[in-house]
Amino acid sequence: MERDDLIVNDSYSMQAHHSEEAGKKIRKNVWKVTAILTAITVAEVAMGIIFKRSETFTWTAIKWSFIILTLFKAGYIVMSFMHLGDERKNLRRVILVPYVIFIAYLIFIALTEGISHFDLWDVWK
Partner 1 sequence: MAGEATKEIPKEVLWGGGRSPFSVSYGKMMMWYFLVSDALTFGGLLTAYGFIRHGSESPWPIGEQVFEALPGLEGQYPLAYVALMTFILIVSSVTMVLGVEAGHRNDKKGVIKWLGWTIVGGFIFLGSQAWEWSHFIHGSGGAFQLSENVTVTGTLANGETMQFDMLAGDRVYMDHHFGNIMEEYVEGSPNVSVTTAGGSVTAMSLGAHSHEATLEYLTVNKYIENRATVEGAEMMKLWNARSSDQFVFGANLSENEYGVQQQYSNFFFFITGFHGFHVFSGVVINIIIWFLVIQGIYEKRGHYEMVEKIGLYWHFVDLVWVFVFTFFYLV
Q: Build a one-symbol-per-residue string for 5-44: x at contacts with partner 1 by CB under 8 A, - elsewhere.
A: xxxxx-xxxxxxxxxx--x--xx--xx-xx--xx--xx-x
Nearest distance from C-beta of residue 57 to partner 1, angstroms: 15
Q: Counting contacts by CB under 8 A, is residue 101 touching partner 1?
A: no
Using CA atoms, how far apart are residues 12 and 85, in angstroms rounded to an integer? 15
* The only residue of 58, 61, 85, 94 in contact with partner 1, by rule CB under 8 A: 94
E strands in 35-124: none
Nearest distance from C-beta of residue 20 to partner 1, angstroms: 7
Using CA atoms, how far apart are residues 34 and 91, in angstroms rounded to an integer? 25
- Let me know how many helices (H) and strands (E) the chain has, helices first: 3, 0
Q: Which residue lies nearer to partner 1 by CB, 12 or 58?
A: 12
Three-class SS of residue 2? coil
Nearest distance from C-beta of residue 17 to partner 1, angstroms: 5
Residues with Cβ within 8 Å of residue 26, at least 6 apart in sequence: 18
Nearest distance from C-beta of residue 15 to partner 1, angstroms: 7
E strands in the chain: none
CB atoms within 10 A of CB 6: 9
Q: Residue numbers of the site for partner 1 (CB under 8 A)?
A: 3-9, 11-20, 23, 26-27, 30-31, 33-34, 37-38, 41-42, 44-45, 48-49, 53-54, 63, 66-67, 70, 73-74, 77-78, 80-83, 87-88, 90-91, 94-95, 98-99, 102-103, 106-107, 110-111, 113-118, 121
